[in-house]
Amino acid sequence: MTRLGHLAVRFAGSVRARPLDRADLAFVRHHLRPEELACWDRLGPADRAESLATARATLGALGPDADPAWVAAALLHDVGKAETRLGSLGRARATLVAGLAGHGRARAWPNAVGRYVNHDELGAQRLRQAGARAEAVVWAAAHHRRSRWPGTGIPPEICEILAAADGEPFPV
Ligand SMILES: [Fe+2]
Ligand SMILES: [Fe+2]
């Protein structure tokens, strides 16, 4: 899918996002520790839905004997988006603007676009401060930057599964 196509699908999904049902929330509570759930709870409906879809896809790929830490990492990878304070339209615009300017530059901007591009670092900081599992912290920081995967200590095949389950392009 093209970058614009991916953006359009993501935007449509965020507009359509419904609150999760009881079974979904039970799944999240089952896989997260209380300090991690406190981070996850800050997400809006669209981000919660994306989190759950990513975790279910990760579990589907790894099977029922998956290390619970990878499911937690999937659920928590985008918690930094709670810090961005942008709606669907603002995010679509931020993605386009950052793509034109270059993500490395946009990441340093002291504005909403910069916060959105930097959601990986913001999420990792919040998770670290909360006392989340190390796997969730390092994956949140690295999930859009393949060059950082070797430094996470997460097996490469797990990184591939987590990234494929997420389905976001590189970099956001
Ligand atoms: Fe992300
Ligand atoms: Fe994501």
Reference 130, options 44, 39, 41; nearest CA is 39
Is 166:74 a contact under the CB 8 Å cutoff? yes
The CA 17 to ligand 2 mean position distance, Å, reads 14
Which ligand has the nearest atom to the CA of 91? 1
CA 11 to chain centre: 15
Distance 163 CA to ligand 1 centre (A): 10
Q: Which ligand is nearest to the CA of 163?
A: 2
| 88 Cα: distance to centroid of ligand 2 (angstroms) | 14
With a CB cutoff of 8 Å and minimum separation 6, the contacts of 106 are: 97, 98, 113, 114, 117
The domain segmentation of the chain, as residue ranges, is 3-166
What are the residues whose beta carbon lies below 5 Å from ligand 2 (ion)?
A: 78, 166, 168
The pTM (predicted TM-score) of the whole model is 0.89
pLDDT given at position 16: 57
Residue 102's pLDDT is what? 93
Cα 6 from chain centre: 15
Q: Rounded distance, CA 117 to CA 74, Å?
A: 18
pLDDT at 18: 74
CA dist list (Å): 93 to 7, 21, 88, 96, 121? 10, 30, 9, 5, 20
Amino acid occupying residue 49: A
pLDDT given for residue 169 in this prediction: 74
The whole-number pLDDT of residue 50 equals 96
User: What separation in Å is there between the alpha carbon of 60 and the centre of ligand 2?
Assistant: 17
| Cα 65 to ligand 1 centroid, rounded to whole Å | 26
The pLDDT of residue 19: 84
Q: For the chain, list residues with pLDDT below 50.
A: 15
Task: Tell me what percent of the residues of the chain surpass a pLDDT of 90.
Answer: 82
Ligand 2 centre from 110 Cα, in Å?
A: 22
The residue count of the chain comes to: 172
What's the pLDDT score for residue 113?
A: 95
Which ligand neighbours the alpha carbon of 144 most closely?
Answer: 1
CA 60 – CA 38 distance, rounded (Å): 25
> How far does CA 163 lie from the centroid of its chain?
10
Residue 126 alpha carbon to ligand 2 centre in Å: 16
Q: Which of the 8 DSSP states describes residue 82?
A: G
Distance (Å) from CA 22 to ligand 1 centroid:
25
